[in-house]
Amino acid sequence: MSQAQNILITGASRGIGQAIARQAAQQGWSIGLNYKQSQTEAMDLAEELRATGVKVVCLQADVSQQSEVQRMFREFDEALGPLHALINNAGILASFLITQVDETNLHQLYGANVFSAYYCAREAVLRMSTTSGGTGGAIVNMSSVASRLGGLSGGSAYAGSKGALDSFNLALAKEVGTQGIRVNAIRPGLIETEIHNVHGGVAQMQNMAKTAVPMGRSGTAQEVAKVAMWLAGPDASYVHGSIVDVAGGR
């Protein structure tokens, strides 16, 4: 990058979000690290990234709540200045049968996986849109191959939330494409992160990948992060409204 660019990554304290933050630091971005509860992990990551010479700010917020998202973006503005890229990475993996659905588990899942993307994209567009004085930018939404495969047993709600995100991604791209904002998504497959603890952990996921994934292995958070930062950066300048599968052919 010819000059410093500012990026906000939601759910950045661990897993794929953490890997994206490290990749962004390698590319010289100034970084807003959002976390909900994992303060220690976020602070440790921020210290690690600052040691590489980049500017980092930790931003605590429950991104399923609009008021907290608005506060978080104001704090980002004050600490780093103009926003150039948003990675909508925050989300949860849930497993419950349709007979177990209730207002609590469904609202929590869609709040984390869908509402958060809307709230954060709203604030990003208000800042980046050329129609409101911004200079453009990029939004990357984190979906899942569950949106087209249906997920694992008990995954109807999770798969549905990611299907909603896929549709949102395309519709938002059509809405803001002439405002200097590119919108794309990533569909990770079986990636080695602790989010899979709900389905037996990384070891079980790795065993599943040997037969379920055409490449015969699970992926890493770093492999997803590299795609995310490519989509956020100038090399993907004509990539818009797309969903990139990072799933080993699954």
pLDDT tens digits, 44-90: 999 999 999 999 999 999 999 999 999 999 999 999 999 999 999 99
Q: Which of 35, 118, 158, 238 is catalytic?
A: 158
pLDDT at residue 87, rounded to an integer: 99
pLDDT at residue 108, rounded to an integer: 97
When pLDDT is cut at 50, 70 and 90, the band that residue 166 belongs to is: very high
Residue 1 has pLDDT above 70, yes or no: no
Which residues lie closer than 8 Å to 231 by C-beta, 6 or more apart? Answer: 138, 140, 182, 184, 186, 239, 244
Q: What average pLDDT does the structure give for the chain?
A: 94
pLDDT at residue 201, rounded to an integer: 61
- How many H helices and E strands in the chain? 9, 7
When pLDDT is cut at 50, 70 and 90, the band that residue 28 belongs to is: very high
**What's the pTM value of the predicted model, to 2 decimals?**
0.94
202 or 40, which is more confident? 40
Mean pLDDT along residues 238-249: 97
Tell me the H-state helices in 112-155: 116-128, 146-149
Residue-wise pLDDT for 178-228, tens only, equals: 999 999 999 999 999 875 554 456 777 788 888 889 999 999 999 999 999
d(CA 78, CA 69) in angstroms, rounded, equals 14
pLDDT at residue 5, rounded to an integer: 96
pLDDT at residue 232, rounded to an integer: 98
Which residues lie closer than 8 Å to 192 by C-beta, 6 or more apart? Answer: 202, 205, 206, 218, 219, 220, 221
Other CB atoms within 10 Å distance of the CB of residue 22: 19
Catalytic, 110? Answer no
Residue 2 has pLDDT above 80, yes or no: no
d(CA 127, CA 23) in angstroms, rounded, equals 24
Class of domain 6-246 (CATH, top level): alpha beta
- Chain CA centroid to CA 129, Å: 20
